[in-house]
Amino acid sequence: MTIGLITCSFGRQYIVHAEGSDYQTVSRAKKTEYVVGDEVELQIINAEQAQIMSLLPRRNLLYRSDQNRSKMIASNLDLIVIVIAVKPNFNVNFLNSCLVAAEASGIDPVIVINKTDLPESNDFANRIITLYQEKLGYQIVSLSATTDCSNLLPYLSGKRSLLIGQSGVGKSTITNQIYPQANTRVGEIAKYENSGCHTTTNATLYKIDHHSELIDCPGLQEFGLFHIELSEAAEYFPEMRPLLGQCKFNNCQHLDEPKCIITDAVKHSRIEEQRYIFYKNLCLRLKTKKNY
């Protein structure tokens, strides 16, 4: 039996890399079973084709979900590179959702502020750095992908990294800068999305050197967090974590309970209101789950 790595998926078809070759495989299951980053046991059929026999245990799995369904994004990751830019339409909820998803799956995030060449990027970058790096402690890299991505490289070295971000922020441009052979179509996916005919999201894994891999993942406009447990949500906010356990009620959800250290910290601006509102909205959505 050969062990391979899933590097690309479309529908129920997967490209699996094993022993220096790429194989096409099809899964018989109705539901999508595998995701980019999965390690699988393979039965090789011929030089181009193989059959997936089983899945090796995942060390982590990033996925998103809403009321109706959840979707796996990638597995066995070392780093989530969250790309943001002042244009087009920066959405702070998307950034917060990505960070919570990273925290919940136990994968380190790094925030890339792209398009620093745009004049309006300066104020934007300063605001992001003040809150997310200085207050919350997240790693941030600022760059202009159309010019140079070299300051991101040290973060990627020796890791399997996933690029995520709203469409148009420059993920494909970054991929092409770092790995020109990828030749990812810049600006293409957004066009498809707007026309509504491109509904599947295909992540693709590129080996950028012997021990580093980069996964480009187009088409994420929102990042549902329906899989999060309400009772654990606060732990995924680094500004809340050190305060947990100090509220009057030990099952405090930090919404409207009396003597809550979190809402108190918000009142005294020790916790950013914008982040707390995001937390509160997340909890209200999670409360609509059946088991609460």
Ligand X SMILES: Nc1nc2c(ncn2[C@@H]2O[C@H](COP(=O)(O)OP(=O)(O)O)[C@@H](O)[C@H]2O)c(=O)[nH]1
Closest CB to ligand X among 64 and 171? 171
Using alpha carbons, select from 78, 60, 84 the residue that is nearest to residue 133.
Answer: 84
Task: Give the x-and-dash track for 129-148 against Zn ion (CB under 5 A).
Answer: --------------------
Could you tell me which stretch among 29-37, 117-125, 193-201, 258-266 binds Zn ion (CB under 5 A)?
258-266
CA distances from 32 to 29, 48, 141, 172 (A): 7, 22, 34, 25
Could you tell me which stretch among 26-34, 98-106, 170-178, 194-202 binds ligand X (CB under 6 A)?
170-178
The nearest distance, CB 248 to Zn ion, in angstroms, is 8
Is position 186 an interface residue for ligand X (rule: CB under 6 A)?
yes
The nearest distance, CB 181 to ligand X, in angstroms, is 16
Q: Are 77 and 161 in contact (CB under 8 A)?
A: yes
The nearest distance, CB 235 to Zn ion, in angstroms, is 13
Task: Give the x-and-dash track for 56-95 against ligand X (CB under 6 A).
Answer: ----------------------------------------
Closest CB to ligand X among 88 and 106? 88
The nearest distance, CB 249 to ligand X, in angstroms, is 43
Q: What is the distance between the alpha carbons of residues 85 and 143, in angstroms, rounded to a whole number? A: 10
The nearest distance, CB 98 to Zn ion, in angstroms, is 25
Task: Give the x-and-dash track for 176-195 against Mg ion (CB under 5 A).
Answer: -------------x------
The nearest distance, CB 281 to Zn ion, in angstroms, is 16
Is position 175 an interface residue for Mg ion (rule: CB under 5 A)?
no
Is position 109 an interface residue for Mg ion (rule: CB under 5 A)?
no
Q: Are 80 and 215 in contact (CB under 8 A)?
A: no
Interaction with ligand X in 92-121: which residues (CB under 6 A)? 114-115, 117-118
Is position 247 an interface residue for Zn ion (rule: CB under 5 A)?
yes
The nearest distance, CB 139 to Mg ion, in angstroms, is 23
Is position 218 an interface residue for Mg ion (rule: CB under 5 A)?
yes
Q: What is the distance between the alpha carbons of residues 161 and 264, in angstroms, rounded to a whole number? A: 37
Q: Are 106 and 60 in contact (CB under 8 A)?
A: yes
Per CB under 6 A, residues contacting ligand X are: 114-115, 117-118, 144-146, 165, 167-173, 186-187, 189-190, 218
Residues forming the site for Mg ion (CB under 5 A): 171-172, 189, 218
